[in-house]
Structure 1
Amino acid sequence: MRLKNLPSEFQEALPVLKKIKNAGFEAYFVGGSVRDALLNRPIHDVDIASSSYPEETKRIFERTIDVGIEHGTVLVLEDNHEYEVTTFRTEDIYVDYRRPSHVTFVRSLEEDLKRRDFTINALALDEAGNVIDLFAGLADLENQILRAVGTPSERFNEDALRIMRGFRFQAALGFDLDTDTFQAMKLCAPLLEKISVERTFIEFDKLLTASYWRKGLKSLLASGATDYLPDMRSSQLQLETMFDIKVDFQFTSSEQAWATLLMALQVNNVKKFLKHWKTSNEFQKRVEQIVTIYTIRQRHFLDKEECYRFELDLMIQAEEIRQAQGLAVDFEKIHSTYDSLTIHDKHEIVVNGGLLIKEFGFKPGPALGQLLTEIETAIVNGVLDNRLEAILAFVEERR
């Protein structure tokens, strides 16, 4: 097969391929960029594989950076672009189910491609647009099948993260999993406990926010792999409630997706759960707030104080979850209540503790903090104007 019109991302990188070839080596575009080009999907990173060894690659180009030279990767800086050029390689036994104990550089493209995860990612593209397909990846693209290269269990024993990547690719592409590949994923699922939580989170997060997240999640649950993810043992039945939301619903953010997942799991301590997933404090805070907003909305509509407490986009995201569940929603009222607030942050108040100390001789401490809170609440509820004279009079009445 030949791509008649190379996408612009490849055209921009052609000088790199040609320089390597002119130096007497082979060079190809490989991996996800080739797959996405064939599927007419947006191309992100363009990766290049070459028969040139790292030191040989560095001699070809004036500007390079060693980004993973022990694994054969050199970053080439060319025409204001950066390209990772990786030497064809084979890999020895994986000692930790994630990284090979040793990498051997080779001159064979076939040896390089046979170590990759799925057939649709084991395609190469030359400078003329010819697709090199040694493992029937084109047929699997045509038939929308995710199939491991070679013996599936070997691929997942080499790198157990490939199990989560498989479910993530399914969620992104909507493909079906090859039966043997799925059975191997199911068999090797316990190895996920060997993988760093941070890497697992990235794949799970991409799954949840992908176009076909339902498909990926269903396969994940069917495999039993959730039993080997942090705090998710025996959670299949709870997670299946996520499929009760509208079929065409697409999560608009990672925070919204994880909030929905945590509510399905009926998690009481959101921050504790997400800490086990090694997420950032900011992410934990935003997910927790979406869950809190959703819980409030189960009881009543958000009043002014509650609209003031939360960011507008988080309130909208919680309302979107309700909408996806077929519950009553009122986006217009959320916007109007939020817009009616005279302040959206306490720093907008025209007085502060220092001014009150100066004007009234207050001492720093809890009493002053309580007074500032009363001022803030009164302004938010519209019973006090955010003007200096009005606030000073308000304080004078409470002395």
Structure 2
Amino acid sequence: MRLENLPSEFQKALPILEKIKSAGYEAYFVGGSVRDALLDRPIHDVDIASSSYPQETKAIFDRTVDIGIEHGTVLVLDQGGEYEVTTFRTEDVYVDYRRPSSVNFVRSLEEDLKRRDFTVNAFALDENAQIIDKFNGLADLDKKLLRAVGKAEERFNEDALRIMRGLRFSASLDFDIEATTFKAMQTHAPLLEKISIERSFIEFDKLLTAPHWKKGLQAFKDSQAYLYLPDLENSQADWDEFCTSYEDGVTFSSSEQAWAALIIALKVKAVKPFLKKWKTSVQFQKTVESLVTIYRYRQDQEHGLRQLYQYGRDLIEVAEDLRQYQGQSVDFEKIAELDAALTIHDKHDIVVNGGMLMAELGLKPGPELGKILSQVEWAIVDGQLANEKEAIFDFIAKQK
């Protein structure tokens, strides 16, 4: 099969293939970029596989960087871009269900493609836009089916993260998982405990933010992968409710919003400790916790000036979106009105500060000063005090 319309990303990189071939080696575009071109999806990274060994690749180009040379990958700086060129390789025994103990460079494209995870990721594309399909991936692509290359048990035993990748692909591509492949996922799901949580987080995060996250989440539940990920072992009863509570066609706008939705559905009480087990950043934890708090507050009562001031309009609206996704009543107009009514949006907007109060009113540093500043701040937020120097000094005088 020939790709009729070669995407511009490949066209730009064609000279790389041609240089390698003119030096006497084979070279192809490989992997997810080829799949995405066949599906008419946006292409992100263009990967190149070659029969040239790393040192041979480096000899072909003037500018290269050794970014993973022990695994056969050389970064080529050419044609105004950066391209990863990886030598055809086979892999030795996997010692930790994630990484091979060693890799062996080979000259055979087919041997290289055999080690790929799924048939729809095992395509190669030559300089003439001809698709090389060694494992009937085109038929699986046509059927929207995700099937492991070769023996599924071997693929997941080699690298258990492929289970999470498969679930993620199901969610992003809207593909079903072939029965034998899915059974192997279920069988090998316990191996996810041996995978670094950072890598599992990345794949699960991509699943949650994918267009067809409900499909991916259903497979995630049915595979019982959740049993082997942090604080999800008792969540079985919540997955169906999570999916059904959101209207079809909903796609979360950010990772933070998606994880807030997950935490709400799982009825997690301590948000930060939960996210800490997933090795997320402090800022991520803070944002998600705020979204969950805003959402839960809004379930019982309307927002006021204090909520808008404390969390900001953007976060309030992201949390309100979650209500809208669930078909609940929303009031974005009121949020806008409250935001407009705020005379300050940050304590630094206040026309006086601690230094001024100490200098002009003779106040001493310490807890009492902090208490006075807090009273001033909230009085301004509540609309009870004008953000003016004289008014603030009068307010402080009355508090004494």
Partner of 2:62: 62
Shift of 1:80: 2.0
Q: Separation in 1 of the partners of 2:21 and 2:279?
A: 44
Does the CA-based 8 Å contact 2:171-2:212 persist in structure 1? Answer: yes
Partner of 2:227: 227
Q: How far apart are 1:376 and its partner, in Å?
A: 0.5
**2:252 is matched with which residue?**
251
Gap runs ≥5 in structure 1: none
Under a length normalisation based on structure 2, what TM-score does the superposition of the two structures give?
A: 0.98
- Say yes or no: does 1:35 pair with 2:35: yes
Deviations 1:46-93 (A, max 9, x none): 000000000000000000000000000000001220000000000010
Kindly state the Cα deviation for residue 320 of structure 1 after the two structures are TM-superposed: 1.3
2:320: which partner in 1? 319
Distance in 1 (alpha carbons) for counterparts of 2:113 and 2:341:
60
Structure 1 residue 392 displacement after superposition: 1.9
Q: Percent identity?
A: 64
Deviation at 1:24, TM superposition (A): 0.3
The residue matched to 2:329 in structure 1 has which SS?
A: coil
Structure 1 match to 2:8: 8
Partner secondary structure for residue 358 of structure 2: helix
Q: Which residue of 2 aligns with 1:129?
A: 129
Residue 175 (structure 2) aligns with: 175
Mapped partners of 2:234, 2:305: distance in 1: 40
Which residue is 1:142 aligned to?
A: 142
Structure 2: give runs of 5+ residues left out of the alignment.
none
Distance in structure 2 (CA, Å) of the matches to 1:86 and 1:327: 51
Question: Is the counterpart of residue 398 in structure 1 residue 392 in structure 2?
Answer: no
1:104 aligns with 2:100: no
C-alpha deviation, 1:382, in angstroms: 1.1
The aligned counterpart of 2:92 is: 92
2:216 matched residue in structure 1: 216
Say which SS state the counterpart of residue 210 (structure 2) adopts. Answer: coil
In the TM superposition, what whole-angstrom CA distance separates every residue of 1:352-376 from its partner, at most 9, and x where no partner exists?
1011000111111111001001111
Distance in 2 between residues matched to 1:79 and 1:375, nearest whole Å: 60
* Residue in 2 that maps onto 1:49: 49
AA paired with 1:116?
Answer: R
Q: Look up the match of 1:292.
A: 293
Q: TM-score, normalised by structure 1?
A: 0.99
Counterpart for residue 385 of structure 1: 386
Equivalent position amino acid for 1:180 in 2: T
User: 2: CA distance between counterparts of 1:287 and 1:327?
Assistant: 20
SS at match of 1:374: helix
Shift of 1:325: 2.0
How many aligned positions are there?
399
Partner Cα distance (2:336, 2:290) in 1: 17
Q: Secondary structure at the match of 2:348?
A: helix
| Aligned equivalents of 2:388, 2:75: Cα separation in 1 | 58
Shift of 1:175: 0.6
Q: Deviations over 1:284-340 (max 9, x none)?
A: 001000110011111110110111100222111211111222222111111211121
Residue identity matched to 1:339: A
**More deviation, 87-96/312-321:** 312-321
Residues 116-169 of structure 1 show CA distances to partners (whole Å, capped at 9, x for unaligned) of 000000000001100000000111111100000000010001100000000000
CA deviation after TM superposition for structure 1 residue 212, in Å? 0.3
Cα distance per residue 1:13-48 (max 9 Å; x no partner): 011100000000000000010000000000000000
CA RMSD of aligned residues (A): 0.8
SS in 2 for 1:90: strand
Q: Distance in 2 between matches of 1:107 and 1:233?
A: 45
